[in-house]
Amino acid sequence: MVLLLLLLIGGIACVILAELEKGRDAVPRAPGDCPSCGHAVDAEWLICPHCRLMLRERCCGCGQQRSVSHRYCSQCGEPGQEKKI
Ligand SMILES: [Zn+2]
Ligand SMILES: [Zn+2]
């Protein structure tokens, strides 16, 4: 009977741990999150204050600030500088 109880408690603990793991992975990533560190960033910020990632850059086609995550400028269609790492 005691063994059965221990198994039951162990099973519940496993379920709780699995749920915690799931919760950790399911952190919602809003469109305004930094692609590098995941912190919420304002759409108007140029640089992420948490990891200093460049969030926006000046478009070389029209001079407007544009998100670096966009492949092409939303104002003029100019492709961004290819970043070779
Ligand atoms: Zn960041
Ligand atoms: Zn542009």
More confident residue, 35 or 49: 49
Instruction: With CA atoms as reference, report the closest residue to 56 among 34, 40, 29.
Output: 34
Nearest bound ligand to CA 54?
A: 1
pLDDT band (50, 70, 90) for residue 37: very high
78 pLDDT above the threshold of 60:
yes
- Distance between Cα 59 and ligand 1 center (Å): 21
**Domain positions in the chain:** 56-85
- Distance between Cα 41 and ligand 1 center (Å): 8
- Distance between Cα 46 and ligand 2 center (Å): 16
Instruction: With CA atoms as reference, report the closest residue to 46 among 30, 58, 36.
Output: 58
- Distance between Cα 45 and ligand 2 center (Å): 18
Is 66 within 8 Å of 55 (Cβ atoms)?
no
